[in-house]
Amino acid sequence: MANQDAPILYGLMAELPSAQALTDAAAKVHAAGYREVDAYSPFPIEAVSEIVCDHKRSVMPKIVLAGGLLGLLGGFGLEYWAAVIKYPLNIGGRPFFSWPSFIIPAYECTILGASLAGVFGMLFVNGLPSPYHPVFNVPRFQAASRDGFFLVIKSKDKKFDRTAAKSFLEGIGASEVFDVEY
């Protein structure tokens, strides 16, 4: 537990020299049993994501599938309802339920539904937009969008102890360790 007189921390941030270093560090932190951990890099590093996310698969595929199905049913349903139930019209001698023609709009709706679900789902799951975030309090963090690699152990982690964590991070090759304040 963090001692009272210290300021309330969001966590500790370690800067690491390279992508490789970040990966190794992440692995070590995970091995050490820290779970409330996040890593920051200017480009995606699969290994790091895997470790940080504790090898859980992303939920995105399910969301996208749901969106797609919704689009498909919605689209085809609308066509059927409009052309067969609501206002059936003899058009060029074709049957009211001209399903071959209905396939195309339904198909497009499927893709539209899936894509919308994907993008907005991703933003939602990632808790974006969040223009304000504690990590931005660390001036050095701006490098994260250029060439900086960072690892954060959050204070809410059960094992979190400021001094212990600090020394641990320094131990695993952090070039520097910062306090991340709320």
Partner 1 sequence: MAQLFSRSANTIAKASIYGGAVVAAALGWLVVEAIPRSSYATGKTVVYKQPVPFSHDHHTAGLGIDCRYCHTSVEESAFAGIPPVSTCMNCHKNIWTNAELLEPIRESYRTGVPVQWRRINDLPDFVYFNHSIHVAKGVSCYTCHGPINEMPLVYQHATLQMEWCLSCHRNPEQFVRPRDQVFNWDYEPEGSQEAVGAKLVQEYQIQKLENCSTCHR
Partner 2 sequence: MGSPHMGSPEMGWNEQQESPREAGAPGLDLAQVREKLAAAEGPEYWRSIEELADTPEFRDMVHREFPRQASEWPEGVSRRGFLELSAASLALAGLTACTRQPEEKIVPYVRQPEELVPGRPLFYATSMELAGDSLGVLVESHMGRPTKVEGNPEHPASLGATDVFAQASILGLYDPDRSQSVTHLERIATWGDFSTALLGRIQALKALQGEGLRILTQTVLSPTLAAQIEDVLARLPKARWHQWEAAGAHSARAAARAAFGADAAIRYDFAKADVVVALDADFLTSGPGWVRHARAFAGRRKAAWKKGEAKMNRLYAVESSPTVTSTQADHRLALPPQGVAAFAASLAAAVGVPGAAAGDLGAFAQAASWVAAVAEDLKAHRGASIVIAGDCAPPELHVLAHALNEALGNAGATVLYTEPVEARAEDQIASIRGLTEDMRAGKVDTLLILGGNPVYDAPADLGFAEALLKVPFRAHLSMHRDETTAWCPWHLPASHFLEAWSDTRCFDGTAAVVQPLIEPLYPSAKSAHEVMALLGATTDATGYELVRGHWQRTVLAGAGAGFEAAWRKAVHDGVAGVGAAASKAVPVAADAVARACAAARESGGGMALLFRPDPGLYDGRFANNGWLQEVPRPLTKLTWDNALLLSPREAEKLGLATESIAEVAAGGKKLALPVWVLPGHAEGCATVHLGWGRSRAGKVGSGVGVDVYPLRTSAALWQAGGVTITKGSGEHTLASAQTHQDIELQTREATKRHLVRHGTVEQFEKNPHFVGEMGHHTPAADETMYPPHAYNGYSWGLAIDLSSCVGCNACVVACQSENNIPVVGKEQVAGAREMHWIRIDRYFQGDLDDPAVHMQPVMCMHCELAPCEVVCPVAATVHGPEGLNEMVYNRCVGTRYCSNNCPYKVRRFNFLLYSDFETEVLRMAKNPDVTIRSRGVMEKCTYCVQRINLARIDAKREGRKIKDGEVVTACQQACPAEAIVFGDLNDAGSEVNSWKASELNYGLLDDLNTRPRTTYLAKLSNPNPALGGGAAHSSGHEGDH
Partner 3 sequence: MAMLEASADRYDRPPVVGSPHDAATVTDQVSNIVYGRTPLWWLGTFAVAFSIFGVMTISIFWLLIKGTGIWGINVPVGWGFAIINFVWWIGIGHAGTLISAILLLLRQEWRTSINRFAEAMTLFAVACAGLFPLLHTGRPWLGYWLLPIPNTMGMWPNFRSPLIWDVFAVTTYATVSALFWFTGLIPDLATFRDHAKNKLARTIYGIASMGWRGSARHWHNYESVYLLLAGLSTPLVLSVHTVVSFDFAMSIVPGWHTTIFPPYFVAGAVYAGFAMVLTLVIPLRPLFKIQDLITERHLQNMAKVMLVTGLIVAYGYAMELFVGWYSGHHAEKFMLENRITGPYWPIWWSLILFNVAIPQLLWAKRNRTSPMALFAISMSINVGMWLERFVIVATSLHRDYLVSSWDMYTPTKWDWGLYLGTIGFFLTLMLLFIRYLPMIAIFEMRTLTPGAKVKHPETHAKAH
Task: Point out which residues bind partner 2 (CB under 8 A).
Answer: 89-95
93 makes contact, choosing from partner 2, partner 1, partner 3, none, with CB < 5 to 8 Å by partner type, with partner 2
139 makes contact, choosing from partner 3, partner 2, partner 1, none, with CB < 5 to 8 Å by partner type, with partner 1
- Peptide bond preceding 129: is omega within 30 degrees of 0, i.e. cis? yes
Letter string b/e over residues 98-134, b meaning 16 or more CB atoms within 10 A of that residue's CB: eeeebeeebeebbebbbeebbeebeeeeeeeeeeeeb
Which tokens go with 126? 């990632």
30 binds partner 3 (CB under 8 A): yes
Which tokens go with 11? 């966590």
20 makes contact, choosing from partner 3, partner 1, partner 2, none, with CB < 5 to 8 Å by partner type, with partner 3
State the number of binding residues for partner 1 (CB under 8 A): 11
- Binding to partner 3 (CB under 8 A): which residues in 33-92? 38-49, 51-53, 58-61, 64, 68, 75, 78-79, 82-83, 86-87, 89, 91-92
Helix (H, G, I), strand (E, B) or coil at 37: strand
Residue 158, CA distances (Å) to 1, 37, 67, 153, 155 in order:
8, 11, 37, 11, 8
- Binding to partner 1 (CB under 8 A): which residues in 113-172? 129-132, 136-137, 139, 141-142
State the number of binding residues for partner 3 (CB under 8 A): 76
